[in-house]
Amino acid sequence: MIFPVLMGLVGCGVLLSLGVWQLHRMEWKAAVLAEMDARIGGTPEPLPTVLDPIADKFRPVTTEGRFTGRFIEVLAGQKGSSPGVRIIEAFDTTDGRHILIDRGFIEDEARPLPRPPHEAAITGNLHWPDDSDSFTPPPDPKTGLWFARDVAAMAAKLGTEPTFIVAVEPTGDGITPMPVDTSAIPNDHWGYAITWFSLATVWAVMTGFLLWRIRRQTA
């Protein structure tokens, strides 16, 4: 019985350690999400001149200026609404900078409505999203529709610096803000831990059954 006992102990030990590791990961992820939420919901400050895409990610900021009427539409959806797009528009600040504002979501039927340039005060969070991957198609040359946000490419397209603010308050023209939040970041480690602990239980039961069979056959 020595070999089955060793296999049972080693197997249960490995599976239990994986479950404990997932519990540690769950605590770590919860702390990271709490830190992100605190940063996102902080007190907005005037838009800094020098930005670091890592250190300043999600930083709440304010700025004033004028929407230019030059925009990019990104395919998007919103729960409870018909299909639509995100409006990413070039924005000229009062201090002469040219940046990008993610104004939010608008349904397809409202897309043809005019959105003339106008003055605005923006409150939002700095972000440098890159939603594309190897399966994301390039922008449609016929419709101009984009399928993912890519700050560098959008800045080059609209002639702005790669500074991207996601608005948290309405900017007019019937556009609904889609603020930055952590709701789309899963923390499923509790479920993973339960899976590993369940496998450890099954392994222990199967080991016990095997030992019972061996003992019975020996007897």
pLDDT band at 117 (very low <50, low <70, confident <90, very high): very high
CA 22 to chain CA centroid, Å, is 21
68 within domain boundaries: yes
pLDDT band at 1 (very low <50, low <70, confident <90, very high): confident
Question: Rounded to 5 degrees, what are φ and ψ at 134?
Answer: -65, -15
CA-based nearest residue to 63, from 167, 181, 174, 176: 167
Range of the domain at 147: 59-167
Task: Give the model confidence (pLDDT) of 8-37 as tens digits.
Answer: 899 999 999 999 999 999 999 999 888 888
pLDDT band at 154 (very low <50, low <70, confident <90, very high): very high
195 within domain boundaries: yes
Does residue 155 share a domain with residue 211?
no
| Percent over 90 (pLDDT), the chain | 69
47 within domain boundaries: no
Q: Which pTM was predicted?
A: 0.79
13 within domain boundaries: yes
Does residue 70 share a domain with residue 159?
yes
